[in-house]
Amino acid sequence: MRTTNLFIVFVLLALTVYAQETSSDLGPLVTDRPDATESASVVPKGFLQVETGAFYTTFDSNGIKTDDFVLNTTLVRIGLLDNLELRLGWDLLEQSIESPGNSKSTSTGLVPLLLGTKISIAEEKNGWPELAFIGHVRLPFVASNDFRPETTGVDFRFSVAHTLNERSSLSYNIGAFWFGDNPEAAYLYTLAYGYSITEKIGAYVELYGDFPENSKANHLWDAGFTYLVSDNVQLDATVGSGITDGQDILLSGGLSFR
């Protein structure tokens, strides 16, 4: 683990120096974390962007408490064309489930690998928003046994972004997903308002949720801050909770670099 951490730090420093030498005209990086709203921007052609971090959530449903601690939630984005990026994501999850009667079990392992793409459809122009399409599959055969579904998961969404003024923006997603072994579709939405406090510090607040075909809807909120270390490195922190029954708390922190 120490060797892996040192390697990650080395790669981060090397990529930061390289990016500073070659991407000075690109402006600050645009990330798909920490909120649930995916941005409408693609990674520039020929560049690699890594968005990683950890988060903790607790759920309480029908007397069963579930604690999820994602030790390493990582999304790698690679700019292939001017309007196309490749996306790879893989999370290491530690999950504890406590049932009535104080029966508790803990599982740790990798979740299904996320493989997908983001396609830029339109740039923001003449009052029209920026628009992109994002699609993923989630491959079960590379997941640990405790988190391996029988079927491949699929999700897609349209991402829309509006610039309101020099300091604020409004973004939202609309789409659907099919996860695990549940055949029913769930329709998703997100709505995020972002505000630049300074040139380096940003804040956001967000509503998001989903509407399963045969189950009750889930609605949640979160809010957080971002800190731009440089045009190619960003830190973030988030807190959130459920509006409907289910999620009690969400805590997250992360690092992104191009």
Ranges of beta strands (E only) in the chain are: 48-61, 64-81, 84-99, 103-110, 113-122, 130-139, 153-163, 168-178, 186-196, 201-212, 218-230, 233-242, 247-257
What pTM does this model have? 0.87
The model's pLDDT over 134-179, given as tens digits with 9 standing for 90+, comes to 999 999 998 999 999 999 999 999 999 999 999 999 999 999 999 8
Tokens at residue 183, please?
């055949």
CA angle 204, 13, 75 (to 5 degrees): 45
The token duo for 205 is: 């607040």
What pLDDT shows up at residue 224?
A: 97
CA distances from 144 to 111, 149, 234 (A): 6, 10, 30
Is residue 64 very low, low, confident or very high in pLDDT (cuts 50, 70, 90)? confident
Tell me how far apart the alpha carbons of residues 93 and 71 are, in angstroms, rounded to a whole number. 6
Distance CA 3, CA 126 (A): 51
Residue 206 has pLDDT above 50, yes or no: yes
Question: Do 31 and 166 touch, CB atoms closer than 8 A?
Answer: no
Neighbour count for residue 252 (Cβ, 10 Å): 21
